[in-house]
Structure 1
């Protein structure tokens, strides 16, 4: 659905281009959450919004989305493995939110193509 598309490759490239942000130190964001927890929460929020917005999705589509999100989480956890347990700074939190929105956008586009 999205993992095998060029948009996902661009997303991974975007993340790797911003890896320095995750190695930078600074004060933890007010949430006090770790990078790993924020990544999981923000992506989950966007996928829930996606499924809520696209009422035309059938169970098999939702299952495919969940499998792909698992793959995305695996990739991101591999890339960020050395910093997942560190408290997120505000810039890291902002980037994680942006990435979660980009992931939702990839799925929005895939769903639109699916029903065209």
Structure 2
């Protein structure tokens, strides 16, 4: 659905281009959550929003989305494995939020193609 598309490759490239931000230190974000927890939460929030916005999705589509999100999380956890347990800074939180929105956008595009 999205993992095998060029947009996903661009997303991984975007993440790797910003890896230095994840190794930077600074004051923790206001909630003190780790990079790993925030990554999971922000992506989950966007996928829940995606499924609510696309109520025409059948169960097999939703299952495919969940499997793909699992794959995306695995890839991101591999890339960010050395920093997942560190408290996120505000800048890291902003980037994680942006990445989660980009992931949702990839799925929005794929869903639109399904129903065209």
Q: Which runs of 5+ in 1 are unaligned?
A: none
Which position in structure 1 is the counterpart of 2:75? 75
Superposed CA offset, 1:76-99 (max 9, x none)? 000000000000000000000000
- Residue 15 of structure 1 is matched in structure 2 by 15
Please tell me the root mean square deviation across aligned C-alpha atoms, in Å: 0.2
> CA shift at 1:64, angstroms?
0.1
SS at match of 2:29: coil
Question: Any gaps of 5 or more consecutive residues in structure 2?
Answer: none
Residue pairs, 1:32-47, within 5 angstroms: 32-47=32-47
Once the 2 structures are TM-superposed, how far is the Cα of residue 31 of structure 1 from its aligned partner?
1.0
Which residue is 2:59 aligned to?
59
| TM-score, normalised relative to structure 2 | 1.00
Question: SS state of the match for residue 46, structure 1?
Answer: helix
**How far did 1:30 drift?**
0.2
Counterpart of 2:101 in structure 1 is 101
Q: Which runs of 4+ in 1 moved over 6 A?
A: none
